[in-house]
Amino acid sequence: MIPYGRQHITEADVDAVIGVLRSDFLTQGPTVPAFEAAVAAACKAQYGVALSSATSALHVACLALGLKAGDRLWTVPNSFVASANCARYCGADVDFVDIDARTWNMSVPALAHKLAQARKANTVPKIVVPVHFSGQPTDQETIWDLAQEYGFKVLEDASHAIGASRSDEPVGSCRWSHATVFSFHPVKIITTCEGGMVLTNDKTLAWRMSLLRSHGITREAAHMTVRTDEGAWYYEQLELGFNYRMTDVHAALGLSQLTRLKNYVERRNVLAKRYDQLLEGFPLQRMTVDEKNYSSYHLYVIRVDVAKAYKSRREVFAALRQRGIGVNVHYMPIHLQPYYRQLGFELGMFPESEKHGAEAITLPLYPELSEAQQDQIVAALHQSLQ
Ligand SMILES: *Cc1c(COP(=O)(O)O)cnc(C)c1O
C-alpha cells in the first residue's frame, strides 16, 4: 500500500537523536530552546514555544489568549477535530464558519456576514481559528482587518502549513494573527514524532504559554508573588498549568528535520504540480491555489462529484484502496462528529463543508513519493473512474 503521507528520516536525524540520548539532558535541556529559536527564525516570528503536540499548543494558546467559559471560538468544519476541541478544553463554546467552494479554506465573506450578525446578537467570538487547509494559507490579511473591526483574537491553525507563505510572508510570522500553531506529527511537513509549536510576536503571550506548558510554575524571581529569597531550589506555581512539554530528544529530531524544510516543501510542490498536469481532463475537482499563496502541500485533495464522474466518492475510494493506494479523507466535517451533534450541530448547517466532506479524497503525497509511484496512483485513479 502506498500511504497518503509518510515521514522521511535520515541518518543525520538518527545521529541527532542519539546525540541527545548520550547527553546530560533528555528533557528541559538546551535542545528545546534551540529548536524554538530555529523555527521562530525560519518563520520570521519573535517567539516560539514548543509543546507535546499541536493539540496542546492550541489549548495553551487559547488559555493564554483569555478563552474561558461563556466565551466563543469559531473555526471551520473542514479541519481536524483539535481545531475546535481546544475551545471545549477551556469551557468555551464552538461555532463554525463555512468554507470557500474553491480554496476549501474559511470563507472570508461568510466570516464577515456571521460577524455582522453576531455583533447585533452580542455573540462576537473571542478567538477565530483559521486553518490553512492542505498547506494553503487563508486570506489572512482580510481576517486580520476583521479582527481589528470586531476585536477578536486570531489563532492560526497552521498544522499543515509550516514552510508555506502568502505574498512572500511566511506562515508563522504572525503578521496577521496573534499566534500560529504548527504540528510535527509524522504525516505533517516535518516531524518530532509527536510535537507542536506556537509562534507569536507577543512577549507576554509567549511567557504565559510557556508557564502553562509546565504546571504554571515559574523559577524567575521577577514573576514570583510570595517570596524570592529561599534559595536556588525555590519555585512558585502561579496558576493551573499542565505537563505539555516537548522533550529534548524530540526537539533534536525537529531541529535536524528543519534543515530540510525548504527541500521538502519544494518537492511537495513539484509533485503537486505534476498531479495537476496528470489529472488534467479527469472528471474531478482539483485544488485551487490563490496566486498570492505558496502552499506547503501537506495534502493533495481531489473531489469526486457524482454528477460529473458518474461514480460516488465511496466507489472511487474503495477502488483505489483495492489497488493498493492508501487514500484518505480530509475531513469529515467537525460539526457532524457525534460529540458535536450532541452540542446541537446537525447536517445542513455548513453546506460547503458537508459537500467537501462527502466528495474529498486525499491522494498520496510525501517527499519520497517517486514519479513512478505517482504514475501508478494516477493510473489506478483513471481505472477507478471507469
Ligand atoms: C494534525 C492536526 C492537528 C493536531 O496535531 P497534533 O500534533 O497531532 O496534536 C490540529 N489541527 C490540524 C488542522 C491538524 O491537521
What's the pLDDT score for residue 221? 87
Mutate to test the pocket of ligand 1, among 52, 83, 184 (most ligand atoms within 8 A of CB): 83
Query: pLDDT band for position 242 (50/70/90)?
Result: very high
- Mean predicted confidence (pLDDT) in 229-237: 89
Question: How do residues 290-323 score in pLDDT, each as one tens digit?
Answer: 999 999 999 999 999 999 999 999 999 999 999 9
What's the pLDDT score for residue 229? 77
How many of the other CB atoms lie within 10 Å of CB of 94? 21
- Mean predicted confidence (pLDDT) in 279-298: 96
* CB 84, CB 75: distance < 8 Å: yes
Least confident window among 170-174, 183-187, 233-237, 350-354: 233-237
Q: What is the mean pLDDT of the chain?
A: 97
Ligand 1 nearest-atom number relative to CA 330: 15
Residue 228 predicted with pLDDT over 80: no
- Mean predicted confidence (pLDDT) in 264-290: 97
Q: Residue type at 22?
A: R
What's the pLDDT score for residue 227? 75
Residue 230 predicted with pLDDT over 90: no
Residue 380 predicted with pLDDT over 90: yes
Ligand 1 nearest-atom number relative to CA 53: 7
Question: How do residues 76-115 score in pLDDT, each as one tens digit?
Answer: 999 999 999 999 999 999 999 999 999 999 999 999 999 9
* CB 181, CB 159: distance < 8 Å: yes
Reduce the secondary structure of the chain to three states and give it as a string.
CECCCCCCCCHHHHHHHHHHHCCCCCCCCCHHHHHHHHHHHHCCCCEEEEECCHHHHHHHHHHHCCCCCCCEEEECCCCCCHHHHHHHHCCCEEEECCECCCCCCECHHHHHHHHHHHHHHCCCCCEECCECHHHCCCCHHHHHHHHHHHCCEEEEECCCCCCCEECCEECCCCCCCCEEEEECCCCCCCCCCCCEEEEECCHHHHHHHHHHHECCEECCHHHCCCCCCCCCCCCEECCCCCECCCCHHHHHHHHHHHCCHHHHHHHHHHHHHHHHHHCCCCCCECCCCCCCEECCCCCEEEECCHHHHCCCHHHHHHHHHHCCECCECCCCCHHHCHHHHHCCCCCCCCHHHHHHHHHEEEECCCCCCCHHHHHHHHHHHHHHCC
Question: How do residues 326-345 score in pLDDT, each as one tens digit?
Answer: 999 999 999 999 999 999 99
Indicate the length of the chain as a whole number: 386
The whole-angstrom separation of Cα 24 and Cα 32 is 14
With a 6 Å cutoff on the Cβ, whether 155 touches ligand 1 is no
What's the pLDDT score for residue 231? 86
Question: How do residues 5-52 score in pLDDT, each as one tens digit?
Answer: 999 999 999 999 999 999 999 999 999 999 999 999 999 999 999 999
For residue 87, the CA-to-ligand 1 centroid distance in Å is 14
Query: pLDDT band for position 140 (50/70/90)?
Result: very high
What's the pLDDT score for residue 275? 98
What's the pLDDT score for residue 44? 98
Question: How do residues 153-198 score in pLDDT, each as one tens digit?
Answer: 999 999 999 999 999 999 999 999 999 999 999 999 999 999 999 9
The whole-angstrom separation of Cα 158 and Cα 337 is 22
Rounding to the nearest 10 degrees, give the CA dihedral for residues 39, 41, 47, 52. Answer: 10
Residue 4 predicted with pLDDT over 80: yes
Mutate to test the pocket of ligand 1, among 88, 89, 157, 183 (most ligand atoms within 8 A of CB): 183
